[in-house]
Amino acid sequence: MHGSAPDITGKGIANPLAAVLTAGMMLSNLGYPELEGRIQNAVQNCLLADEVTPELGGRLSTQAVGDAVLRRLGA
């Protein structure tokens, strides 16, 4: 993941999944590999359920995708 995408700032259409997966890699590096696995599963399930942002063919906002990941994590 890279870049700031100023053209879509504040529109709620940015895909948060790369940032979520990056957080999982950080947790694994900090000694919590099981959490990374849970995050990967949550993201995969969102993708399979088409709970994604418009550039992936979905209809959800950035916030809604984040909420979907959190639901799958049991948060």
Closest CA to 74 of 52, 51, 48, 41: 41
Closest CA to 13 of 44, 51, 53, 68: 53
> Considering the entire predicted model, what is its pTM?
0.89
Q: Is 13 left (phi over 0), alpha (psi -120 to 50) or beta?
A: alpha
Q: Phi and psi for 12 in degrees, rounded to 5?
A: 70, 25
Contact residues for 15 (Cβ-Cβ < 8 A; gap 6+): 52, 53, 55, 56, 62, 65
Rounded to an integer, the average pLDDT of 57-75 is 96
Taking only the tens place, the pLDDT of each residue in 37-55 is 999 999 999 999 999 999 9
